[in-house]
Amino acid sequence: MKQIAIAGAGAMGGRIGSQLKKAGFDVTLVDFWDEHIKAINEHGLEIQTETDTHYMKIDACKPEHTEKAYDLIVILTKAMQSETMVQTLLDRGAIHENTAILTMMNGLGHDERFEKIVPKSQIFLAVTMWTAGLRGPGQILLEGTGRIDLQRADGEADARTQVIADMFNQANLNAYVSDNVLQTVWTKATLNSVLNPLCTILDKTIFEFGEYPEARQQIEPIIEEIVAVAKAKGIVLNKETLVQKIEGAYPKETQGLHYPSMHQDLYHGRLTEVDYLNGQISKYGHELGIPTPNNDMLTHLIHQLEMTHVK
């Protein structure tokens, strides 16, 4: 795999792209945001770490201007921009018949949406525990550690999966080939579907949310709906494990001091990914005849807040 595109090169795309580039791979950052592309082309990508701030020269362009065909495309737009990104890259000839299209976005159903554009055998799913921040156009903040789990979306063995994991590991991204990535995708989506909307609606950090003595009574019904929908889709989730994982995020030493990304998006006037979290649970529930009143309500409340905060 020689040519790599990071399609959606904000905070997380900037992290994956810059670490691959540093490891010697041929990486292009592809993004819709003019100002961001301009800043990267003029000054390089500004990377702030725990120890320093430095600039990296790295190719960057808009999807409608890309001239290459890529062997690996990592999708890291926000979920609502992802289908337009894949379709634009396809229209530009940037996707060939062996291109691996790896989505590392949060949320559910990305493979189902992408397979309307490209064959499912080209789609790979990844879950990342890395984090990253965007400080402004062309400026990213990289702190902490993480891991990446990946597998082909249809679950089939594919030599490219290990090749991608090896490339990520050369870039110190701590990657693992999974034999059940959907379970990991759904586990992370459950955490995000519980803490993101609740902390956003309540305008609380994860720690502040967890301080409420009856927080467990708030989170359990949401989790139970997700476990039931997952089960109907053949994915086994354990409610108690999910409760423990969520409660494990409350302490200040873990994730407690943070506002979830949905909070940051909404209060910075941006649309959230709620339709790919709680909204997607509700959609599946509706299709499968499983009631999801808690996830329905959370989706509606976030949509109401978007009407107020997103101009």
| Closer residue to ligand NAD in complex, CB, 224/264 | 264
Are the C-beta atoms of 79 and 111 separated by less than 8 Å? no
Structure-derived torsion over alpha carbons of residues 79, 192, 237, 207, reported in degrees to the nearest 10: 170
The stretch near ligand NAD (CB under 6 A) out of 29-37, 56-64, 174-182, 300-308 is 29-37
> Which range touches ligand NAD (CB under 6 A), out of 76-84, 166-174, 217-225, 282-290?
76-84
Q: From the list 4, 6, 11, 40, which residue makes contact with ligand NAD (rule: CB under 6 A)?
A: 11
**97: three-class secondary structure by DSSP:** strand
Cα torsion angle, 248, 209, 223, 268, sign:
negative
In the annotation, is 120 catalytic?
A: no
Helix 215-232 to helix 278-288 angle (10° resolution) is 50
How far is residue 118 from each of residues 81, 108, 121, 283, measured CA to CA in Å? 16, 18, 8, 23
- Residue 190 within binding range of ligand NAD, rule CB under 6 A: no
Among 4, 6, 13, 259, binds ligand NAD (CB under 6 A): 13
Residue 56 or 215: which CB sits closer to ligand NAD? 56
Q: What are phi and psi of 15, to 5 degrees?
A: -65, -55
Residue 5 is a binding residue for ligand NAD (CB under 6 A): no
304 Cβ contact list (under 8 Å, min separation 6)? none
Other CB atoms within a 10 A radius of the CB of residue 297 amount to: 15
- 142 forms part of the interface with ligand NAD (CB under 6 A): no
Range 271-290, binding ligand NAD (CB under 6 A): 273
Shortest spacing between CB 97 and ligand NAD, in angstroms: 26
Q: How far is the CB of 217 from ligand NAD (least distance, A)?
A: 27
Does 105 help bind ligand NAD (rule: CB under 6 A)? yes
Give the catalytic positions in this structure.
Answer: 188
**Binding positions for ligand NAD, rule: CB under 6 A:** 8, 10-13, 31-33, 36, 76-79, 105-106, 128, 131-132, 134, 261, 273
